[in-house]
Amino acid sequence: MEYYNYIKSLHLIFVVTWFAGLFYIPRLFIYHIEAWQKPSPDREILADQLKLMSKRLWYIITWPSGILCTLFAVWLLILMPQWLSQPWMHIKLLFVAFLIGYHLKCHQIFKQLQRDEVKYTSRFMRIWNEVATIILFAVVFLVILKNAFNWIYGTVGIVVLAILLMLGIRLYKRIRDKNPNA
Chain centroid to Cα 2, Å, comes to 32
Residue 113 to residue 108: CA distance in whole angstroms: 9
Residue 96 to residue 77: CA distance in whole angstroms: 14
111 is in an annotated binding site: no
- Helices marked H in the chain — which ranges? 4-35, 42-56, 63-79, 87-114, 122-128, 131-145, 151-178
38 is in an annotated binding site: no
CB 33 within 8 A of CB 125: yes
Residues 6 or more apart in contact with residue 110 via CB below 8 angstroms: 25, 29, 54, 58
* Ramachandran region, residue 86 (left: φ > 0; alpha: ψ -120 to 50; beta: rest): beta
Q: What Cα–Cα distance (Å) separates residue 91 from each residue in 17, 143, 145, 154? A: 22, 10, 12, 12
Binding-site residue ranges: 11, 92
Can you say which residues are annotated as belonging to the binding site for heme? Answer: 11, 92
